[in-house]
Amino acid sequence: MTGIERGGWDSCDYCRRGQVVIQQTELRFRRVTDRGVIQCQVSVPVGYCDQCGFRHVDAAADAAIEAAARRAYEELGAK
Ligand SMILES: [Zn+2]
């Protein structure tokens, strides 16, 4: 089975056997910038493989993470 694209994952990209289950997940991360350290928390859908536990983050979740980081960076500049 190839060529199935629907913005998600039918099977795991890593082990190719597991089913990927999407869960809304609170991600916390720190990033060092030229204005200092930013701490972010963002809720994004993350796909977890039920076999190997591999985490799948799609482009939309990636964009949400970047947007949160940018917001926190702007706030640092406003101080
Ligand atoms: Zn897997």
Question: What band does 8 get if pLDDT is binned at 50, 70 and 90?
Answer: low
Within 8 A by CB and 6+ apart from 12, the residues are 18, 19, 20, 49, 51, 52, 54, 56
Residue 1 reports pLDDT greater than 90: no
Predicted local confidence at residue 79, as pLDDT: 61
Instruction: Give the residue extent of every domain in the chain.
Output: 25-44+57-78
Residues with a beta carbon under 5 angstroms from ion ligand 1: 12, 14-15, 18, 49, 51-52, 54
The H or E element that residue 63 is part of is helix 59-78
Q: How far is the CA of 23 from the centre of ligand 1 (A)?
A: 15
How many angstroms is it from 21 CA to the middle of ligand 1?
Answer: 11
How do residues 56-77 score in pLDDT, each as one tens digit? Answer: 998 989 999 999 999 999 999 8
CA of 56 to the centre of ligand 1 (A): 10
